[in-house]
Structures are given as C-alpha cells and as structure tokens.
Chains A and B, each alone.
Chain A
Amino acid sequence: MIEQIRNQARKLLEDGDIDVVIGYAEGSDPARTTPIFIRKAEDVDKLIYDPRCINSLPLYLNKRHEYTKKGWIKTGIIGKGCDIRAIVQLIAENQLKRDEVYILGVPCEGQVSHPEKWDGSLHDGNRASKCVGCDVMTPHETDFFPGDKPDVDRSNPYEVTSPKVANLMELELDKRFAFWRTDFDRCFKCYACREVCPHCSCNVCITDETTPSWIDPAAHKKGVFSWHLTRAMHLVGRCTGCGECTRACPMDIQVDLFNQRMKEVVQDSYSYKPGYSLEDKHPLITYQVDDREDFIK
C-alpha cells in the first residue's frame, strides 16, 4: 500500500505537479514517527505509514505555521481519514483552496494512542479511543487512493466519543468541576493544544491580543479556565476530532473532552458533523428555514 503512495508521490514530484509531499517518516525512536517534507522525487522512499502515524499533518496547511510563506503552489499530503476531515473543514472554511492540495489518502485501521503503548502492532489494548467506531477508515475525499475504495456507511449522526465524556456527564456538577480543577492545576498555558490544532488559524490568537487583553495569559485558574473554555467555544462545529490537542498536551490534560462534548451538542442542535462535506457551511454562520428554534427565548 505504501509503495503505491510512494510511486504516486514520486510521479507527481517528477512531473512538477506538486511542490512538496507532507508525510510520515521514521521518528527518532522505534515507537515514533515524524512529519517529513519531501521535495525531491528520490526521497519518497522515506515515506512510511503504519499505526504509529497518529500525528495529524493538516496543521502544516494552516497559515499559522508559515504555510503561506513557503511558496508552495500545490501541496501533496498523506491523509488518513481523520486528517482528511481536517483538510475538508479547512477548505469548507476558505482557509485553503481545494486545488491547492493533493490528497494522498491512506486506509487506516486505527492508531496507537501513545508511543509507550507500541509493541509492534495495533490491538485493542493500545488503540486510541478516537479510532473505535471511526467511519473514515476508508477516507472520504482523496485525489489518490491505493486500490479500490469500498463504500462506507457514514450515516451515524454521532461521532466517536471517548467513554470519558459519558463518565463526566454522569458525575454531578460539583464533582465534574472538581475533576477539571484538578486537571487544570497542571496547565501552564503553553498553548500546545492550540498549535497542533489544524483549525486554530487566527492571525493573532485571542490570547495574544493585548489591546484589550481578553484572556489573562498567566496560568492561574482564571487564565486557564478562560483559555480552555474559549478554545472549546471557538471550535464548536469546527473540531474534526483528531484528538491532537490532548496528545500534544505535555501535562496529559484531556483537553479534547470539551470538544467531544460540544460535538454532541452541535449534532443535537444542527444535525451537523464537520469535515465531511466540502460544500456544507458551518451551521453557526448559516441560516436554514428549518433550523431548530426552541433554544431561542
């Protein structure tokens, strides 16, 4: 499978159809992979794909990460299903044009959640919870896919949710808040959760605004809560569930639980799952005649 991807990448680079392929390569440890930018056809053999490739690569298509400074006219990118949802969402939000990106889709059976759980293969003991019940294991939007694409039923309105969300929703409010107070005690506002997110693309993030200072940058309770809740709200209807924010958090705080819960809310209110359609617009910026109105008082 990866050989077909390499061949296609080689051909595209040789023909000059794309300027670069963003993919995965062996990392600095046997359990890790790393993003790689391949500009020359002879380097495509460095591309790999296996259950260690949990990184979401579309963040490099986000202008926050110097994408617009690179001078790439057309960018090739290896995408597993959840990554392609992020790319589709970027296109739907006009952050990217469809013809700027060449999607080399890969089939995925799941990813290992943490490098320390890698023991040579993917299995139920190390599969990331976002992968259990995933409906884009065969990706939905591609320019190239190795082999035939089987039909996939993507009609489930609800997305994969970690059992932790249900856990938390069962707790009483004060216990739920106590959980977050404990977890957020570790937060030091490094903003790794923001930097890995493919959708955080504001030229100046609200936390970096100083006139006025909307969110205190210091990591006291007010600064921490206001950041995470603002981030959750800014991603409502936009988060495509890659889970990178939690993976990137150096203090292992489960920040994406907010995003997962908000997805349920968006689905209930608008019957909308972001990242599946290039055309569908975000429900919070569009009006349909049959929109629910029962929450408007």
Chain B
Amino acid sequence: MKTATLNKSDIGKCIDLLVQSDLRVIAPRLQPRLDDEGTDSIEVLTFTEVDSGEDHQVGEGLLPLNGVKEFLFAKHEPLFAYEKRGKKVEIIPVHHEYPQTVIIGVRPCDAASIASLESVFSDANAGFEDPFFTERRSRTTFITYSCTAPDASCFCTSVDLAPDSSKGSDLHLTELGNGRLHVEVITEAGEAVAKQLESLLEGEGDQTAREQAGAAVHEKLTRLRNSAPIMDWLMDTANFDDEMWERLGEKCIGCGSCTFVCPTCHCFDIVDENKGSKGYRVKFWDSCQFDHFTLHASGHNPRDWQYKRYRNRFNCKFKIYPEKFETQGCVGCGRCIRACPVNLDITEYMAEVAHKAANPNAMKADSDFE
C-alpha cells in the first residue's frame, strides 16, 4: 500500500487544492453563531460544503453532528415529477447531476457505516439498486482521519472497530504526534485524490509510528461493552419478550433523535407533493421510533408501545444488519447516546444482554415491574 506524510497544518491547503480542481469538498466546520449567545452557548460542528481551506475543523472537533449519511442517502430528494392532464399522466424524470465530491475529516466510525448503507441500498439487497444512492456513492471519495481523543460516549472498540481503523476509507490520515500525518492510500479513488495533493505529500510514511499512535488511542475509550453474545441472544425468539425491554425502554419518548443521527439508520418514507396538477414524488428520512410507523390502516399496530419500537431499533443494529445484510449495524459512534434527551443508552442495553446471556438461569433483575 502506498503511503506518504503530510503536515497537519497543510490540510487547509489540501482543501484549497481540491476545491480548485473543481471538486465539491465537504469538511467539518463550526457553525456561525450570534454575537451574544449567553451561557448556553456551545459550538456546533457539522460537515458542510466549503469553498476554501479556511476555518476547517479537520482533525479537531471529535464528531460532526450530521455525519456523512446525508451526503449518500439524502435527507429528502425527488424521485420523479409527474403532471396530470385529464386522464393522462406524464412522468418526468428528475435530473440528478451529482458532482464529484470529496469528504475530508471523516472519523472511522462514520467511514465504517458506508458499507452498511451500501448493503441496504445496492442491488446486493434483493436485486434492487437505488440509483440515487449509487450515483452519490460512486462520486464520493472519503478522506478519513483517525481519532486521537474519543469522548465518554464513544464505544467503537466494543463493536469490532477501532479509532484508527481505515475501513471504508479511500485515503486515511493518522496523526503521528509531531504535527505530521501518516497518509495511507487505500483505494483507487484515494490514489486519485493523493495525486491531486501530491505537491503537499512527502516521501513515505512511517507505518510503525502510525500503528503505535493508533493503538495508543484504543486505551482512551472508557465505554467498553462485550458485544459478542448479543446477536445469538437476539436470535432466540424467547428473548423477544424479556422483561428488560420494557424496564429499560419505559422512559423512551419516541423522539427519533437516535435514528436521525445514527450513521446506519436507513428508514425512509415516500409521499407525493403537489402543486396543482403537477408534483414530485419525494423520498425522505423516517424513523421506526415514530408511533405511526407500523400502524395498519385497520388501526392495528404491531409495535404499539414505545419500548417495542426501541426494541426494534436495538434488533436492527445488532441482529438485522449482521444477519440479513451481513454488515455492521452499530458502529459505536455514540451519537445516539449524546442526542437522547432522556439518556436512553444503547450500551446499557448491550450490557444487560451480555449479562443475561452469561446468566441465562439467573432470577430476573430487580425490577419495578412486579
């Protein structure tokens, strides 16, 4: 694998070079704030389109709020337009010209989620290929950046990932600790980008130092869980009615925050939006946490309590994804933990399942649900 070194302080120049070669560049940036924000002020970091290398936060803030999902699986997009004329209808394809895009500063957890989304939207899934996803994916290159300072909510190492993993990456950057970055060219797309940046890249990287630097960060994660027994425990349908679901999920308010910030959540809805006799059919993000998500027209709802809807989410991450799509469900980014207004914590569920899997004959945990 081809490697090189890059000065961390040259990242802004990298972005400039990419912008100048007519690529659409997306990088983490802090959102502009009002003058006097009061004591509530916090910094808001998001991936956003940039037109220069100024003010970027590549390698700085931990995790942009939005992740890269919205650049592959759009928050909303028209599928086609239609026009009704008397008894006839004309379908007008909507032209999607998706520009060649580079997203720089992607953390390993977000990068690992790309394969998961591909497993749902590509034709590997039942032979149907989502052309909108495919076009965006095929025109996007990911420059990823190893983490140096995970926070208390990160748990990638508990789901078989690592803060310095290059899974999903095209070009991977790791800090060596002396203002220098070790650069790894992972794919052909990464090679093409490296070529664009060759004036800033030097010599060969230092693989040993890179591995040491990466490994040192593993110890910094404090949220550790054993995820190995989870899928088997979930496969046993007797556990579907375990008391833990209601006990842990009672406080869930169904806000859907977790699903919207989750890099692998892929549920969507489709509606027609009209303007007179013309309109668009639009696909947009939806959530299995909403109370009407599975509501039948008859009024019957298979998931009629909120804890059942959260149970489905946990199943989706730890059973459906690995079993049905054979990719990773949860990538341990911790966004759902940070976002949840009532501190519902997926790692608490993980711990509970691991405990039950290890003690299948124990009395049920001290519960309020007698």
Contacts and interface: CB of A to CB of B under 8 A. Distances in A.
Verify whether A and B have any Cβ pair under 8 Å.
yes
Interface of A: 27-29, 32-40, 43, 55, 59-60, 65-66, 69, 113-114, 116-117, 124-129, 132, 162-164, 166-168, 179, 182-183, 186, 188-192, 194-196, 208, 213, 216-220, 223, 244, 246-248, 250-252
B65 A35 contact: no
Contacts of B260: 188, 190, 250
Given A192-B255, A216-B273, A34 B39 contact: no
Interface in B253-307: 253-257, 259-261, 269, 271, 273, 282, 284-285, 287, 290, 292, 305-306
Interface of B: 31-32, 34-40, 42, 44, 46, 65-66, 70, 75-76, 152-153, 250-251, 253-257, 259-261, 269, 271, 273, 282, 284-285, 287, 290, 292, 305-306, 335, 337, 339, 341-345, 347-348, 368-370
A182 B251 contact: no
B152 A29 contact: yes
Contact of B306 (A38, A66, A129, A218): A66
A37 B273 CA distance: 42
Which 4 A-B pairs rank lowest in CB-CB distance, beginning with the nearest?
Answer: A195-B255, A218-B284, A192-B255, A34-B343
Given A189-B285, A252-B42, A29 B153 contact: yes
Interface of B is mostly: loop
B255 A191 contact: yes
Given A218-B271, A248-B255, A43 B368 contact: yes
Contacts, number: 151
20 contacts: A28-B337, A32-B343, A35-B342, A39-B370, A65-B253, A124-B39, A163-B38, A164-B34, A166-B36, A183-B31, A194-B255, A195-B256, A216-B273, A217-B284, A218-B75, A248-B257, A250-B261, A250-B335, A250-B339, A251-B66
A247 B259 CA distance: 17
Nearest to B336: A250
B26 to A, nearest CB: 13
Contact of B40 (A129, A216, A217, A250): A129
Given A34-B342, A218-B273, A219-B284, A113 B40 contact: yes
Contacts of B70: 188
